[in-house]
Amino acid sequence: MDIGSFLQFGGRQLKHTLVNLTSLSEQELDILSDSLGSLKPPFGRREIRALGQGLNEKAGRLSGDDWSEVVGVLLQSLGNADFITFLEDSGVIDDKARKRLDTILQAFKEDHPVRRVVDIDRFLEQGPRLTGFTWFCDVRTRFSEFADPQLGAKNYKPVEKFKLPLVIVRMQLDELENPVYFQVTEKELSELISELETARRQLRYISERKKE
């Protein structure tokens, strides 16, 4: 996560989020600490939004959106020392709030599970990362060509030769400005899924070996 990923809102909203964070009670901090223990890397907006909704169910003083923003700012504070400097330089945090923030950060010491999660996520940010993945199905039709181009387009009678169902995939990488597109047939898609399943099993094997 970089600073910009969670600071797309204005300074007023950021200050509001810091007020929510620094006003958390000890009970709310305990609930937040337990919830962050379930966070797995890599994570992004979807995971943080889901975490915020879960926190709202357990501690309803803040809305799900407010909790999501609190979690985002807290994770930035834990994983990026420059972020605290940014808060001070931008004037959205005063000395009193800074001391309270330091106290809160102490609750998430180096042995807290979320520290390792943040470290892994920041390591993965070195990229390249897949930031977007969408697809849609389409049917491409192949027509016959002009039997005699000299007859002109008005006399051309298209004849359908075949139709081909395809999946059009769109991928966005953080190191490329423009998305990458490619198309695959059902057979190619099945082969790709099989290759990815093989890769998933290999990763699972490595993960299980580490636990031995």
Mean pLDDT, range 160-165, rounded to an integer: 93
Count of domains for the chain: 2
Q: Which of 25, 116, 134, 130 is nearest to 75 (CA)?
A: 116
Look at residues 153, 75, 159, 146 and name the one whose alpha carbon lies nearest to residue 115.
75
Work out the average pLDDT over 83-95. 82
Domain with 185 in it: 130-211
127 pLDDT band (50/70/90 cuts)?
confident
Burial of 36 (0-12, 13-18, 19+ CB in 10 A): buried
Instruction: Give the Cα separation of 3 and 71 in Å (integer).
Output: 13
What is the pLDDT at residue 6? 47
Structure-model confidence comparison of residues 201 and 43, the more confident one: 201
Do 192 and 120 share a domain, yes or no?
no
Q: Answer with the one of 90, 124, 158 that is the final residue of a domain.
A: 124
Cα dihedral 105→111→112→118 (10° resolution)? 80
Whether the pLDDT of residue 148 is over 60: the answer is yes
Among 82, 108, 124, the domain boundary falls at 124
Residue 152 sits in the same domain as residue 108 = no
Is the pTM higher than 0.75? The answer reads no
- Reported as a pLDDT band with limits 50, 70 and 90, residue 94 is confident
Give the mean model confidence (pLDDT) for residues 126-146: 88
The verdict on 109 and 181 lying in the same domain is no
Q: Is the pLDDT of residue 2 over 60?
A: no
Q: Which of 77, 105, 124 lies at the terminal end of a domain, its last residue?
A: 124
From the number of C-beta atoms within 10 Å of its C-beta (0-12, 13-18, 19+), residue 175 rates as: exposed
Q: Is 101 within 8 Å of 18 (Cβ atoms)?
A: yes
